[in-house]
Structure formats: structure tokens, C-alpha cells
Amino acid sequence: MADGPARGVDFRDYEVAARERGCLNYSFRDLNETCLMMNEDARYADRPARIAVIDYGMGNLRSVCKALEREGAEAGIVTDPEAMKAFDGVVFPGQGALGDCVASMRENGMDEALRRWIAAGRPYLGVCLGLQALFEHSEEGDTPGLGVFAGRVKRFRLPAELKIPHMGWNEARLLQEDSPLFAGMDAEAGSFYFVHSYYVEPADRSLVLCETDYGHPFVSGVARGHCFAVQFHPEKSQSRGLTLYRNFISVVGWKTRLPG
């Protein structure tokens, strides 16, 4: 039996069943238990989640697309904000300079499209720069961000024995233990692959999904509602990273079927 919502299911069926079971908050655990009771219903057709991978002119997008497709999604590279409307979820990967990234998005209107997408509660997963861009300001080039969340992006200031950029495998301690993004993974620290010289400092600590140590603890992931973002690269993080992508695909499949 499947352990999550069936692909192609109308989410309202789950919502009604969850309400009948007294699950009023629709947490991941509540919905998972409800879905276990319903996924074998033959009425539910199979339709992969469609995920847009944002292209702003930088980053290895094919590796992200391949990881999503391996886990069962339909992934498409998107440069035009209008094209996003054909998709159920968004992954915004990135590497390089945040200033160039934000400038490119402002040039074609992708910045405002992403703000509207997140404000509407549609599934979003930011990776590396896709995390940093969500905040108000970055020390990198004195760059204003998208301002989705209050906070800033700071450069590492570390003892000489610690190299910058922070590069390689490191652990991420999960703080939001019920997060669907980490479903099936141990809540204890697990390793992911990092490459970065800057880190986010949210004004609101309730945003923090996970933390990592490099010279000092820093925020390596945030989450609120259906908006998730991580500093590490899931597509470079072997089986653990693929599990994270698979979990995001599940979130996309569920949110797609919410009424309205």
C-alpha cells in the first residue's frame, strides 16, 4: 500500500476524510494516515506532479530536472513567468552571485511572479541561491532580495583554519520535526552537500527548518506552509537528497488538489 496520496487524487476527498477523522489541522502525519486508507481506490487516476525549474541563466539545471524526474515528477525548465502557470510546483535552484540572479529575475518579471506564487501558498522549493533570494538584503554586493521573509544574508567570518566557501558534506539538524520535506529521514543530523560563502539569518526564528555547524551554527533551511528552501544541494546529496526531492513532489501532489 502507498504511504502518501495517490497521484491524480482530488485532494478534497482527502480533506473530507481527514475532517471526518477529526484531523482539523491537516498535518503531514494526519494526512498520511488518511491517505493510507484511500490510496487503493481504483477511481484515482495517475498523473505526475508537474514541477517548473526556474532558469535565470546560471546553475546546472539538468541535474535538478533529472533528480525530480527520477523521483516521478514531470520537470520543465522555465524562463518565462507566464509558463509557470502550467506547473503545480516550483524549484528555484541556483549558484553564483546573488546580485546577478536577482537582476536577471527583475529583468523578466520572475521576481514578482515568485512572490505571487509563494503568497498564494503554492509549493516552492529554493536551493542555495533560491534560499538566499527570499530575504530582504544580502551582504553580497549590497543586494536587495525578494523580501518574501524578513532577514538578511551574511558572509561567513571564520577563523583562518576554516576555508570559505564552505564546501563539502555537512550535517543538517532538523528543527521542524514534522516537516513533510524530511519525511522518512531521521530527525537526527544527516549529511547533505554544501557549496556557499553566505548564509541566511531570518528575523523570525520560527522559519528555521534546519541548522548546520561551520565555525558557528547557521540556518541551512527554512519552511513556512508550502514554501521550503535549503542551503545545500539535494541533487548532489545522493540518496538523502533524492528523498528530499521525492518528499517535495508529494507536497506538490497534495497541494495541487486543494480546493481553490
Nearest to 101 by CA among 123, 139, 130, 76: 130
pLDDT of residue 185: 87
- Residues 167, 70: one domain? yes
| Residue 22 phi, psi dihedral angles, 5° rounding | 85, 15
Q: For residue 14, name the pLDDT band (cuts at 50, 70, 90).
A: very low
Q: How far apart are CA 6 and CA 243, in angstroms?
A: 17
Extract the C-alpha cell encoding 259: 480546493
Instruction: For residue range 45-58, list pLDDT tens digits in order.
Output: 467 999 999 998 77
Q: Catalytic pick from 35, 65, 128, 210?
A: 128
Domain count, the chain: 2
- Residues 128, 5: one domain? no
| Residue 33 phi, psi dihedral angles, 5° rounding | -65, -40
- Residues 31, 63: one domain? no
235 is catalytic: yes
Positive or negative torsion for Cα 202, 63, 242, 38: positive
Those residues whose C-beta lies under 8 Å from the C-beta of residue 147, and which sit 6 or more positions away, are 115, 135, 136
Those residues whose C-beta lies under 8 Å from the C-beta of residue 189, and which sit 6 or more positions away, are 171, 172, 173
Q: Could you list the residue range(s) of the whole structural domain that residue 89 is in?
A: 50-256
- Residues 15, 68: one domain? no
CB atoms within 10 A of CB 168: 11
- Residues 143, 57: one domain? yes
- Residues 61, 188: one domain? yes
- Residues 85, 211: one domain? yes
210 is catalytic: no
pLDDT of residue 49: 95
- Residues 40, 61: one domain? no
Give the CATH number for residue 186.
3.40.50.880
- Residues 179, 91: one domain? yes
- Residues 185, 249: one domain? yes
Classified as helix, coil or strand, 183 is coil
- Residues 89, 115: one domain? yes
Residue 90: pLDDT over 90 = yes
233 is catalytic: yes
Instruction: For residue range 211-246, list pLDDT tens digits in order.
Output: 999 999 999 999 999 999 999 999 999 999 999 999
Q: Catalytic pick from 166, 196, 226, 233?
A: 233
- Residues 109, 238: one domain? yes
Q: For residue 251, name the pLDDT band (cuts at 50, 70, 90).
A: very high
This prediction has a pTM of 0.82
Q: For residue 40, name the pLDDT band (cuts at 50, 70, 90).
A: very low
